[in-house]
């Protein structure tokens, strides 16, 4: 089982390191261990935190991240993630699934038809209005990541593309915020006793490898690689959420 977790963890992180969606692979893999769902979610956060840290460092070193902007937004993402992780133990997440499907469809359709979107960066800084909206989005997506999580990477990348970033830098910025929300959720899950450390560290070690390969490939190949991967993973997420709703 640990070998299976290692193999699936590296595959999940390879995808997640660029556009998110790794939970589509890692959470079902952890469910195979027989752990209860709250423990699976917390253990997945441990592994995902290790992978997202690796991706974040890779993007920073390559210069494909606006460090000033993400440093400004991270505190709001952290607060949102803590509140989301605490709330998920009190409420069911099933009511969110239909809404998430419609939002993901909107993200996918917009990206497919806006063909030149994200090819080059037009970002020139935040205005007062865009700054306030960015704070709100960082908080809400941090909360969403701690509470439900499906599609967080897609929503974060879409938000940064809307600010004028190219696909690779949008992915780098998104990964930094995703890492911050992962850390906040992980600490919350640890405090609640919902983390199994052995499978989490085994899968996390694999995610470090997958994240190194995935993020470096994205940085090297650029937007022409990230854009179709982003669209593909978003469509798979839509299918997964539709399946969950129908069954």
Identify the pLDDT of residue 116.
82
Average pLDDT, integer, range 117-139: 90
Q: Return d(Cα 3, Cα 32) in angstroms, integer.
A: 12
Q: What percent of the chain has pLDDT over 70?
A: 98
Which residues lie closer than 8 Å to 25 by C-beta, 6 or more apart? 8, 11, 12, 15
Res 96: pLDDT: 73
* pLDDT at site 89: 67
- pLDDT tens string 31-71: 999 998 889 988 998 999 999 999 999 999 999 999 999 99
Q: For residue 215, how many other CB atoms are within 10 A of its CB?
A: 30
Largest CA distance in the chain: 51
> What is the residue-averaged pLDDT of the chain?
89
What is the token pair recorded at 239?
Answer: 């299918």
Q: What is the pLDDT of residue 92?
A: 67
**Tens of pLDDT, residues 5-20:** 999 999 999 998 888 8
**Who has greater pLDDT, 38 or 91?**
38
What does the block give as tokens for 145?
């990541």
Which pLDDT score, from 0 to 100, does residue 176 have?
93
pLDDT (tens digit per residue) in 195-220: 999 999 999 999 999 999 999 999 99
Q: What's the rounded mean pLDDT across residues 132-139?
A: 94
Provide, rounded to the nearest whole percent, the portion of the chain with pLDDT above 90: 50
Give the residue from 196, 83, 182, 213 showing the smallest Cα distance to 140. Answer: 83
Q: Find the mean pLDDT for residues 133-142.
A: 93
């Amino acid at each position: 089982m640990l070998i299976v977790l290692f193999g699936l963890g590296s595959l999940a992180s390879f995808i997640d390191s660029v556009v998110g969606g790794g939970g589509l692979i890692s959470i079902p893999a952890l469910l195979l261990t027989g752990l209860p769902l709250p423990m699976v979610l917390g253990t997945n956060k441990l592994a995902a935190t290790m992978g997202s840290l690796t991706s974040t460092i890779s993007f920073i070193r390559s210069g494909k991240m606006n460090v000033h902007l993400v440093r400004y937004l991270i505190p709001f993402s952290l607060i949102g993630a803590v509140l989301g992780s605490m709330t998920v133990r009190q409420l069911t997440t099933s009511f969110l699934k239909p809404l998430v499907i419609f939002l993901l469809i909107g993200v996918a359709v917009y990206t497919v038809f806006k063909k030149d979107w994200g090819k080059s960066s037009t970002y020139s800084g935040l205005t007062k209005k865009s700054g306030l909206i960015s704070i709100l989005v960082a908080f809400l997506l941090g909360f969403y990541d701690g509470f439900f999580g499906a599609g967080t990477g897609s929503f974060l990348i879409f938000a940064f593309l809307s600010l004028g970033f190219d696909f690779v830098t949008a992915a780098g910025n998104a990964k930094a915020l995703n890492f911050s929300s992962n850390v906040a959720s992980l600490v919350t899950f640890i405090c609640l006793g919902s983390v199994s450390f052995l499978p989490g560290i085994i899968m996390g070690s694999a995610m470090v490898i997958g994240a190194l390969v995935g993020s470096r490939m994205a940085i090297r190949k650029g937007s022409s690689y990230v854009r179709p991967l982003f669209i593909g993973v978003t469509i798979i997420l839509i299918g997964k959420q539709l399946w969950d709703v129908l069954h």
